[in-house]
């Protein structure tokens, strides 16, 4: 029996990994239509599991979709984007009510949850697909992004230059269904990943510094 239990455990893990990989690579997400009065915003903050989870906590945000943006490859997959050869970044589409939360608030919230000084990725995730970026859809959004980068730079809160890029939005490809609402569907895996990623440890260090420079981190209520 003692021998049988480990064998059964290994078999169960193997089957779960197979199912996980099948979902991860094969199932495409099906999105609900955009509701009237809902606006969209697009951000890349490293691992989209984390960026999605952070934005879902913000009042006025109705939905967050993980996906890919910024590249030239049509219909990218997680596998192709992870190769860092498509030009796409892991990104999120934030659906929000502009009568409740402004685009400026979204921008400030975004910069409060990333390391805008990392030129090669975000935290434990390194490579082109993990670069941070704001995808603006209008000149107004671009100006708001530029103003926030200037505000943070002028504050002196960061000891390195801010390198998060502002890019014109072109197209957003939803990621595979398995990636959607990952923190909710896989709380244990997500908790382990996030704890080991270094993201929260960095924010715990930088946010007090930002507070002393009068540019406090914006957190969900």
Active centre residues (catalytic): 47
Q: How far apart are CA 190 and CA 112, in angstroms?
A: 20
Nearest Cα residue to 104 out of 62, 148, 54: 148
Q: How far apart are CA 31 and CA 91, in angstroms?
A: 15
Q: How far apart are CA 84 and CA 86, in angstroms?
A: 6
135: which strand partners?
A: 42, 167
The Cα angle at residue 95 between residues 93 and 97, in degrees rounded to 5: 155
| Alpha-carbon dihedral angle through residues 153, 158, 159, 160, given to the nearest 10 degrees | -60
**87's tokens:** 């030009």
Q: Per-residue DSSP letters for 114-159?
A: S-TT-SSEETTEESGGG-EEEEESSHHHHHHHHHHHHHHHHHT--S
Q: How far apart are CA 35 and CA 20, in angstroms?
A: 31
């Amino acid at each position: 029996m003692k021998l049988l239990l480990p064998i059964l455990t290994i078999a169960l893990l193997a089957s779960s990994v197979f199912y996980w990989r099948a979902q991860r690579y094969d199932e495409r997400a099906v999105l609900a239509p955009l509701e009237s009065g809902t606006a969209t915003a697009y951000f890349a903050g490293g691992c989209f599991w984390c960026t999605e989870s952070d934005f879902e906590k913000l009042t006025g945000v109705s939905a967050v979709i993980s996906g890919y943006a910024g590249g030239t490859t049509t219909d990218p997959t997680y596998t192709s984007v992870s190769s860092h050869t498509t030009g796409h970044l892991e990104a999120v589409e934030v659906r929000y009510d502009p009568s409740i939360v402004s685009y400026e608030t979204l921008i400030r919230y975004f910069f409060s949850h990333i390391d805008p000084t990392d030129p090669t990725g975000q935290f434990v995730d390194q490579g082109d697909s993990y670069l941070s970026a704001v995808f603006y859809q209008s000149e107004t959004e671009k100006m708001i992004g530029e103003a926030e980068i200037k505000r943070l730079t002028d504050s002196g809160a960061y000891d390195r230059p801010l390198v998060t890029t502002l890019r014109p939005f072109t197209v957003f490809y939803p990621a595979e269904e398995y990636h959607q609402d990952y923190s909710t569907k896989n709380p244990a895996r997500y908790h382990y990943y996030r704890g080991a990623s270094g993201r929260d440890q960095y924010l715990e260090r930088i946010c007090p510094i930002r507070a002393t420079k009068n540019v406090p981190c914006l957190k969900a209520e």
